[in-house]
Structure 1
Amino acid sequence: MKYHLPLPALLLLIAVTDGCASPGYYLHAVSGQIELLNKRRPVDEVLNDPATAPRTRQQLELLRRLRDFASRELGLPDNRSYRTYADLERPFVVWNVFATPELSLEPKQWCFVFAGCVSYRGYFAQNKAEKFAAGLEQDGYDIYVGGVPAYSTLGWFNDPLLNTFIHRSEADLAGLLFHELAHQVVYVGGDAAFNESFATVVELEGVQRWFERHGTAPQAEAYRQKIRRREQFTALVLQHKARLTEIYASNLGDAEKRAAKQKIFDELRNDYTALKRGWGNHADYDKWFEQDLNNAHLAAIGMYHRHVAAFRKLLAQQGGDLGAFYRAVKELANLPKTERDTMLKREP
């Protein structure tokens, strides 16, 4: 699924508590990671290679500047991550499988080393992801298989820049890079809402500062408009997601719930058409709506934004000082989850 955040990197680490995982899955995960690492080349080497396409060279030069800015101006880790490049010769780095019951929005969970439990299971090969998803579908789950262009190991390896995302816009590249590096600053296993909301605030603040120093007024305004569309899309989906939650929790029979489910998805499409007219027909989310939508497509919508307002206020309380902000977030991360959630719900 394309979340347009810009596409944030979902993690693929070796599953350790999923009783259904086979030795083949572990082997696939390890071999996929090794392939990715073996294809890395230093960015300078790629730039100096006469065979490098002009467009690729241009984008890598931009990404090198963005990477330096991230550490120098945003206080993000100054390490080897995103200082190499790998051409995987495929459109996505991983394919994630999402699954929910037919009449529930509660996603199936898989647990991973360091990343904790998350609502997807990732594969480096599309056919393996689709085969696994087909088995879940036979078991009665709503399923969705989504290609993911960016990938992070949270700093455990020196993650490379990838052909799967380097040709995106300047704003998207900046946001993606800042978002992923933010995960290396703070990451709480098993608390996706906390992790993604924090990284999203770093992303938003970082892109704003980048354009203030190195961009133009039209670029900055185009980025702000894109963020507004993203927020409106998320709000629209969450509104219908809440209605589905009420229906699934009601005393209606299964047949009535299925009919109501279809009706809500139809209304969601109609409401998006109206929303898009207000955007001047920007087609940011057309591909998402072209899918045969089901519960699984909604699994992660809103996760990246649940605590964004709270983290934005926390940054403002630190006077915009990112270093102080990171320290405050680390203090929150050290709290028990219930206490952490309570603190965040107080904001703003």
Structure 2
Amino acid sequence: MYCRLFLDFLKLLLLCLLLSGCAKVIYIAEQTKGQLSLQWNGIENKKLLDDVTVPPEIKQKVQLIEKYKQYFYEYWKIELGGIYSKTTMLENEAVTWLVITSKWDEVKALKECFPFTGCFPYLGFFNKKSAQAWMKDKQRSGFQAWMRPVYAYSTLGYFEDRILSSFFEYDQYELAELVFHELFHVMYFLKNNVEFNENLANFYGEEMAKEYFEKSSDSGYLEWKNRLKASSVLRRKISSHASELNQLYAAQKPKSQADGEAILQSFVDEKFKPMIENECNKLGLNNCSAKKGEWNNARFAAMLTYEKAAPDFHSLFKTHGDNLKDMLSYIKDREKEFNDSNQKDFTAFLFSSTIDQK
């Protein structure tokens, strides 16, 4: 199998040489090497579970992931093959690092496009130094940038995704949400619409985890559910402020980078940070990550990538009687109609139809 993957990789590089710049060929080569390393270093779960030197807490997490995968299969009746049948122990805490970039006068993630795979509102790097170098290069070019660690991702079924040691940092409830999120990407992914896909997978990951544990009386589950609700409220507040900042740029039309950065700084210091402080305290979020680090257009854009459509998906869920299967069937039907139309924005197309139904 790996020989075939290597040949496919060589073909891809050759095509990219014809269709892309040299920098992207180097990037693709580095990322492919990282992905193949994850595949080659995978250990069969059975072998890991039989190994007396492996800590019990790691074995427990692997067994939980296998249970969550089985639940996903039984729920959707979708073949998942060898996904999560092997475990790869990472050298670092994170598996990749994402870099998001944005212009200084707009909260919008800049897209990076590749032959065959489409466009993405970020770049992911297996090598942290490469991510930092890319970020600094974009900053030198006048863009705003933000980098964050990634602990899980999906190859959309192109590879048999591994359980990664980065998964083990999550408790059983967060782990269920993560596994359902990533497996949902395998089942449904709309090409060239990462924002829609991430918002939808976030929604399904959370709702499936709630259904999985709904009969649990465990205090840990109730704490997770309350934490999830509080986090959702905060994320929506941040998304709303990101949209408000965009409106400020549109209204004030900064003529220079310095003018744009002045608008950003004033907004963050006078409006955004006080809101974050107040909401984190009110919601009881003691370890509030939103209070940490710098906020710029790129970080706000990253939040919109994952959270902008969350309220709309919840409304759509209610429209379909809180039934996840009916909701997905409806989305797929609307996608077919969208493909036959002259519309360009599926998210707007989907939710305009939802509004008409009410």
Shorter-chain TM-score bucket reads 0.7 to 0.9
The 8 Å contact of residues 100 and 295 in structure 1, kept in 2 or not, is answered as: yes
The answer to whether the aligner puts 1:229 opposite 2:235 as a matched pair is: no
Structure 2 distance, partners of 1:22, 1:270, is: 41
The amino acid of 1:229's aligned partner reads A
TM-score, normalised by the number of residues in structure 1: 0.86
SS in 1 for 2:181: helix
SS in 2 for 1:338: coil
The answer to whether the aligner puts 1:273 opposite 2:274 as a matched pair is: no
TM-score, normalised by the number of residues in structure 2: 0.84
Structure 1 distance, partners of 2:254, 2:80, is: 55
Structure 2 distance, partners of 1:22, 1:201, is: 32
SS in 2 for 1:106: coil
Match of 1:326 in 2: 328
RMSD: 2.5
The answer to whether the aligner puts 1:60 opposite 2:62 as a matched pair is: yes
Q: Which sits farther off after the overlay, 77-86 or 314-323?
A: 314-323
The 8 Å contact of residues 116 and 189 in structure 1, kept in 2 or not, is answered as: yes
Structure 2 distance, partners of 1:79, 1:257, is: 49
Deviation of the 1:113 alpha carbon: 5.5
Deviation of the 1:57 alpha carbon: 1.2
SS in 1 for 2:261: helix
Cα 1:325–1:31 shift into 2, 3 Å: same
* Residue 266 (structure 2) aligned to one of 263, 267, 275: 263
Q: Which sits farther off after the overlay, 338-347 or 15-24?
A: 15-24
Return the structure number with greater relative CO, CA threshold 8 A, min gap 6: 1
Deviation of the 1:83 alpha carbon: 2.1
| CA distances 1:96-115 after superposition (whole Å, capped 9, x unpaired) | 11111222222221124665
Structure 1 distance, partners of 2:22, 2:241, is: 32
Structure 1 distance, partners of 2:20, 2:121, is: 12
Equivalences for residues 310-321 of structure 1 within 5 A: 310-316=312-318, 318-321=320-323
Match of 1:124 in 2: 126
Match of 2:201 in 1: 199
Gaps of 5+ in 2: 1-11
SS in 2 for 1:165: helix
Query: Which one has the largest radius of gyration?
Result: 2
Structure 2 distance, partners of 1:73, 1:173, is: 17
Structure 2 distance, partners of 1:272, 1:344, is: 29
SS in 2 for 1:199: helix
* Residue 46 (structure 2) aligned to one of 44, 47, 58: 44
Match of 1:239 in 2: 240
Match of 2:351 in 1: 344
Deviation of the 1:91 alpha carbon: 1.1
* Residue 181 (structure 1) aligned to one of 180, 183, 189: 183
Deviation of the 1:235 alpha carbon: 2.2
The 8 Å contact of residues 315 and 321 in structure 1, kept in 2 or not, is answered as: yes
Gaps of 5+ in 1: 1-12
Percent of pairs identical after alignment?
A: 23
The 8 Å contact of residues 241 and 298 in structure 1, kept in 2 or not, is answered as: yes
More helix by share: 2
User: Number of residue pairs matched?
Assistant: 333
Q: Which sits farther off after the overlay, 19-28 or 33-42?
A: 19-28
The 8 Å contact of residues 98 and 119 in structure 1, kept in 2 or not, is answered as: yes
Cα 1:166–1:76 shift into 2, 3 Å: farther
Structure 2 distance, partners of 1:216, 1:317, is: 28
Deviation of the 1:298 alpha carbon: 1.2
